[in-house]
Amino acid sequence: MKIAFLADIHSNIHALTEVLKKIDLIGVDNIFCCGDIVGYNSFPKECIEILIDNKIKSSKGNHDKAVVDGNTSLFNEFGIAGVNLDRELLDEDEINFLDLLPNNKKFESDNVKFYIAHGSPRDNLYEYVLPWSSENYLKEISMDVETDVIVLGHTHIQMEVDVDGKLFLNPGSVGQPRDSIPKACFMVFDTNVKKAEWYRVSYDIDAATKANMKNNLPVYSSKRLYLGK
Beta bridge partners of 138: none
Confidence of residue 94 (pLDDT cuts 50, 70, 90): very high
pLDDT of residue 159: 98
pLDDT of residue 149: 98
What are the tens digits of pLDDT across the range 149-206?
A: 999 999 999 999 999 999 999 999 999 999 999 999 999 999 999 999 999 999 999 9
- Domains in the chain, please, with CATH? 2-227 (3.60.21.10)
Q: Mean pLDDT score of the chain, rounded to an integer?
A: 97
What are the tens digits of pLDDT across the range 1-20?
A: 999 999 999 999 999 999 99
Burial of 29 (0-12, 13-18, 19+ CB in 10 A): exposed
End-to-end CA distance of the chain: give it in Å, rounded: 33
Of 221, 211, 198, 222, nearest in space to 13 by CA: 211
Distance of CA 181 to the CA centre of its chain: 16
The whole-angstrom separation of Cα 226 and Cα 147 is 37
Confidence of residue 92 (pLDDT cuts 50, 70, 90): very high
pLDDT of residue 135: 96
pLDDT above 70 as % of the chain? 100
Residue 215 CA: distances (Å) to CA of 43, 111, 151, 209: 10, 47, 33, 10
The whole-angstrom separation of Cα 9 and Cα 2 is 20
Of 175, 167, 164, 165, nearest in space to 201 by CA: 175
What's the average model confidence in pLDDT over 49-57? 97
Q: What are phi and psi of 24, to 5 degrees?
A: -65, -40
pLDDT of residue 211: 97
Query: Would you give the DSSP letter of residue 90?
Result: -
Coil, helix or strand at residue 21: helix
pLDDT of residue 108: 97
What's the average model confidence in pLDDT over 101-129? 98
149-151 and 159-163: which strand pairing? unpaired
State the amino acid at position 18 in one-letter form: E
